[in-house]
Structure 1
Amino acid sequence: MDYIVLAAGEGETHSPVLPVWSEVILALIVFAILFLLMRKFVVPAFEKTFAERTAAIEGGLAAAETKQAEADAKLAELEQQLGEARHEAARIREEAREQGAAIVAEMREQAQTESARIVEHGRVQIEAERQQAVASLRAEVGTLATSLAGRIVGESLDDDARSQRVVDRFLADLETIESAQAEGQR
């Protein structure tokens, strides 16, 4: 048993409440060495890593802000283009309406011109046919009048000059009667 006591403190008794100063000094020296080693090697590595992470985060934030600004600019550009496209579409619609109205007006004018031309052509044709019918009727009436006058008078009116005078006088009398009747109806 004596060996055990000698090995533990070589006969000194030690209080459990009071620290052993050699152990405290040795712990302080080891702590200082660890502190210096940490400060020399570990802390700069941590600081470097923190700085890199900070730079990466700040770079990411700057890149995100740049991308956001680019996206906002692109959005504004697209909205402007959309507005211009809408304006252009409205202008094209208005042009189409104007062109449609012009085409309708032109077609209406052409139709009216064509209608007037057809009516005038019809009038001219009717007048020509009326003139032809009047001439034909004059010739027929002249022949009939000459024949009738010859029967009434009892002599032949085959002489062309005399028969023409009789026919002209007869027709003139008819026209006078017709005009008097036309004025009487007015």
Structure 2
Amino acid sequence: MSPTNIGPLEPRIPDLAAALVLFTVCHAVMVRLLRRIDRVLQAREQATDGVDRQAAETRAEADAVREATLRLLADARHDAARIRQQARQEGAALVAEARAEALRECDALRAESTARIEADRAAAERELRPYVSALAHEVASRVLGEPIAPTSRTATAETR
């Protein structure tokens, strides 16, 4: 075989051998380096995916806790509303009972006062009955301006 003359690109055997050896060494180093880089990237991806999965799980758990808390709050609000309604009803019942008690006491006081006033009036009437005639003559004397002598009842009735 004759060497062909292709100019400056003419390959020389020792240069080809050196290039082949250097290529093989570079290839081996790059393969090991790329394998290591690939492992680091896979570990990084697994860590990232793991964190993403963990974040998704944590988010789902937080959502579940939030829903449970919202349900508890809704139940608590419902219970509070029920308790307020019950307190209003009990308060209204207590007010009605107090009002009824006050009305009973008022009626009792009114009846007692009316009875006492009636008794006092009757006592005053009994006490003042003997003096009515004398007081009437005195008032008549003052009105007429002349003294009127008290007369007996029978005498006055006969003169008329």
TM-score, normalised relative to structure 1 = 0.60
Amino acid at match of 1:131: A
The aligned residue for residue 152 of structure 1 is 154
Within 2, Cα distance between the matches of 1:13 and 1:132? Answer: 160
Within 2, Cα distance between the matches of 1:116 and 1:133? Answer: 25
Amino acid at match of 1:128: R
Within 1, Cα distance between the matches of 2:38 and 2:61? Answer: 34
Within 2, Cα distance between the matches of 1:63 and 1:28? Answer: 50
Q: Deviations over 1:130-176 (max 9, x none)?
A: 122123324444x37999xx6428xxxxxxxxxxxxxxxxxxxxxxx
Note closer, same or farther for the CA distance 1:32–1:13 as it changes in structure 2 (3 Å cut): closer
The aligned residue for residue 93 of structure 2 is 105
The aligned residue for residue 146 of structure 2 is none
Q: Aligned to 2:66, which of 78, 88, 98?
A: 78
Task: Return the offset for 1:121.
Answer: 0.6
Task: Return the offset for 1:69.
Answer: 0.6
The aligned residue for residue 66 of structure 1 is 54
Amino acid at match of 2:81: R
Whether 2:85 is the aligned partner of 1:93: answer no
Unaligned segments of structure 2, at least 5 residues: 135-151, 156-160
Within 2, Cα distance between the matches of 1:106 and 1:145? Answer: 54
Q: Deviations over 1:8-41 (max 9, x none)?
A: xxxx88465xx97xx3755653453133202321
Whether 2:114 is the aligned partner of 1:126: answer yes
The aligned residue for residue 39 of structure 1 is 27
Amino acid at match of 2:116: A
Within 2, Cα distance between the matches of 1:54 and 1:128? Answer: 107
Unaligned segments of structure 1, at least 5 residues: 1-11, 154-186
Note closer, same or farther for the CA distance 1:27–1:69 as it changes in structure 2 (3 Å cut): same
Number of residue equivalences? 137
Within 2, Cα distance between the matches of 1:45 and 1:100? Answer: 80
Q: Aligned to 1:56, which of 37, 44, 48?
A: 44
TM-score, normalised relative to structure 2 = 0.69
The structure having more radius of gyration, on CA atoms, is 1
Task: Return the offset for 1:45.
Answer: 0.7
Q: Deviations over 1:84-112 (max 9, x none)?
A: 02211221122122112211210221122
Within 1, Cα distance between the matches of 2:76 and 2:95? Answer: 28
Amino acid at match of 2:87: Q
